[in-house]
Chain A
Amino acid sequence: MRLRFLLPALLFAAVAVAFAVGLGLDPRRVPSPLIDKPAPGFALAPLLDDRPGLATADLRGQVALVNVFASWCIPCRAEHPLLMRLAETEGVTVFGINYKDKPEDARAWLAELGNPYRRIGIDRDGKAGIDWGVYGVPESFVVDAQGRIRFKWVGPMAPHILEEKILPILREVAG
């Protein structure tokens, strides 16, 4: 058996090992250095007259889902009914960060689709987004009663994600 004929098999073995390792990794999960750390310091002005803005201090005292959204973001529209469900039927406190959006567009959007957010902060220039490590919308964070980030979901939530990931984690964090 000459070595050069063995080469394809060896290369394939290396690729197969990489596949095996890769299967254990979740390509959607971008590790956030913020997990189990206190939420970053920020204070955002309110978007709506009847809902307060959002700041670091508001995150203490209850388990909440912080959702980063924008009216220009199509997946956010897909995700929106789930946020409504979380807020209305599941009784979850949902906070919103309106990311790089025109306030009037965001207001029209919420008027059209409904408002699941108890507090909404305007992050017009995306500075708070940088501190939160946001690289795309939508993103959702589970924050515990001590104001620590416990979980991060990148991209729109789907019904099965809600059932299998978000709700169990919310329950677990609530203790």
Chain B
Amino acid sequence: MIVEIGHYALVLALFVALVQGSLPLAGAQTGNTAWMALARPAAIAQFALVAIAFLALVHAYVTSDFSVVNVVRNSHSAKPLLYKISGAWGNHEGSMLLWVLMLAAYGLMVALFGRNLPAGLRARVLAIQALIAVGFLLFLLFTSNPFARAFPAPADGNDLNPLLQDPGLAFHPPFLYLGYVGFSMAFAFAVAALISGRVDPAWARWVRPWTLLAWCALTVGIVLGSWWAYYELGWGGWWFWDPVENASLMPWIAGTALLHSAIVVEKRDALKSWTILLAILAFALSLIGTFLVRSGVLTSVHAFATDPARGLFILFLLVIIIGGALVLYAWRAPALKQGGLFAPVSREGGLVLNNLLLTAGLATVFLGTLYPLLLDAVGGGKISVGAPFFNATFVPLMVPMVAAMGVGPLLAWKRGDLAGALGRLKFAFAATVLVALAVWYVESDGPVLAVLGIGLAAWLFFATLAELAGRIKLFAAPAAESWRRARGLPRATYGMTLAHAGLALVIAGMTGSAWYSENVLTMRVGDTARIAGFELTLETVDETPGPNYDAERARFRARRGGQEVAVLEPERRFYPVQGMPTTEAAIRTTWRADLYAVIGEGDGQGAWTVRLYHNPLVAWMWFGATVMVLGGLVSLSDRRLRVGAPARRRRRPAPAAKAES
């Protein structure tokens, strides 16, 4: 019964979305306020209906209702509760339902918090969101119904792919989708601006919080995925340039570029049509990401639910949504008035450089990801593009970008003083050289490029701190004066400092893992292996049954210089329902390095294959990413960006405007 209610709610949501997508849009064109006003209640109703559908699916999973095909295929009664719940979105149908739920949630937020948006803009934004929802609801109902019944109902389910039964991955899709779908807001604002022909600083101020929120969520999603790959796949690597990873990286790069170009629109009323294009691009890449994962056009370790018929439907949606927006752009963007002029060396110039390099980087990732497909489409044969391509193209583009990131924030708007900015960075430069020399001294055998990477990270870190120190006149003014200035700085400034410093830590972590060492060997109980100054003794290997798997758990005692430092207990699990083994690495994390142990298959005669890794600085990457997200959230809490705050100030002297909303 609950399942039918969910299905019915989804159908109702489709009709509500049809109303929400048509009348308010027509109302905004013709000035019909009653039609425009429909958008808000419709958005609230749509969220309620999709939420009912989603909860109905989660309920079916939690109660292991095996009369639902989706539950049979992806769940099992013996599965832990967390994975029963996450199983609801660990499959194609459920994840698309989650996608639509997120879309409706953003619509709800605009309806609730967007009271101070101009009525026309709000009606258009909600209508465009609803039109996207119509497409995806049709997709769900016609090709991917999560509520289809199984008859006769089997006694138990097929279980979720064991690799996905993991806390990191349980929360990876919701965050990823929160990010992907969040860019639909920037997209809806961009399309609304194209329709109305108005892009001004106020518009940029409304777009930025949504983009920031999406960016934060996408960052968390990508990092969770990377972290999962690091500890679950058992190879000690954290990024594989896999097509599906790239599919999430591309919207992230576009979103990062958008965040920065929107600043120029807000402060200087310039780069308008470019910002609009980036907003379309960020969401387009999110949709393409969904398409790549769901259609099976690219082979990937992630492509666990692929179906060409569904792919065709998503492609159709893609063409209508993105193609439509880009045609609208071609038609309307030339009419946008350009604003302030600026010299090449200026804050705007720095942000343009950031955009150029990010977009070039985006283009290389896009090309590398899709080249195999494009070549195959023209009959050029099957190839694959791997890490060497990306290391040779993407990384060199990011090096000047990070170098410039240190300087850009110190330049003034309109016309900057490069020599002066560099002069204020002399201490940062000296600190960078010291760090690079120290690293080179300690790790003189390591790769030279890695020393450069650490140097780059140090440069960004110290330059970012120097910029903040300069703002509050640290050491240049009395401490009380600095403290007063520090408290007076807007939160957005701290957000930038945190995000840039966080990226510096991430780069250090990425670079540090280049000094990894590995040791793959066969061990018997009692054997001792050495890696990077540690001695690991295999003490026992026990059988330990889990709730829905059998496991072999090894116990390593790790010593350094005779001193015991850790006990590592990696597992090798076998999930009988799916007939699949998984490895559970044991990792000892310190700020210096991860000690990482994986146990492989036994030979049945008391010996096991064991893989040991020593990965320096990996923890910096996770910590740095957390700092970046924190920066985004701090910036989001800035009063200036709180949705409606600027509008309230502007509107106060003109109460007549109230009648319009």
Contact = CB atoms under 8 A, between A and B. Distances in A.
Interface stretch (B37-45, B316-324, B544-552): B316-324
B579 A18 contact: no
A15 B296 CA distance: 16
A23 B313 CA distance: 11
Interface string B336-349: 00000000000000
Interface in B426-473: none
Using C-beta atoms within 8 Å of the partner chain, give the interface range for chain A. 20 to 34
Contacts of A19: 291, 295, 297, 315, 318, 373
Contact of A23 (B284, B311, B370): B311
A81 B376 contact: no
Interface stretch (B9-17, B126-134, B136-144, B327-335): B327-335
A12 B295 contact: no
Interface in A19-46: 19-25, 27-28, 30-31
Contact of B373 (A18, A28, A31): A18
Interface string A73-92: 01001100100000000000
Given A5-B273, A108-B604, A22 B377 contact: yes
Contacts of A20: 312, 315
> Interface SS of chain A: helix, strand, loop or mixed?
helix
Contact of A1 (B312, B331, B376): B331
A172 interface: no
Using C-beta atoms within 8 Å of the partner chain, give the interface range for chain B. 35 or more
B104 to A, nearest CB: 27
Nearest to A16: B319
Contact of B334 (A5, A77, A108, A112): A5
Nearest to B292: A19
Contacts, number: 77
Contact of B330 (A8, A28, A30, A77): A8
Contact of B315 (A23, A27, A30, A78): A23
A2 B373 contact: no
B329 A9 contact: yes
B453 to A, nearest CB: 33
Contacts of B603: 108
Interface string B563-605: 0000000000000000111000000000000000000000110
> Interface SS of chain B: helix, strand, loop or mixed?
helix
Given A1-B334, A23-B308, A18 B374 contact: yes
B522 interface: no
Interface string B626-638: 0000000000000
Contact of B322 (A12, A17, A108): A12
A161 interface: no
Contacts of B382: 27, 30-31
Contacts of A13: 323
Given A23-B311, A27-B298, A74-B581, A18 B377 contact: yes
A175 B455 CA distance: 69
Contacts of A130: none
Contacts of B308: 23-24
B319 A21 contact: no
B299 interface: yes
Given A13-B323, A15-B370, A22 B376 contact: yes
Given A13-B323, A27-B382, A74-B581, 7 more contacts: A8-B281, A9-B327, A19-B315, A20-B312, A20-B315, A23-B311, A24-B308
15 contacts: A1-B334, A5-B273, A5-B334, A9-B326, A9-B329, A13-B323, A15-B370, A18-B377, A21-B377, A22-B298, A23-B308, A25-B297, A27-B376, A28-B299, A108-B604
Pairs A-B, 4 closest by C-beta atoms: A9-B326, A21-B377, A27-B299, A6-B330
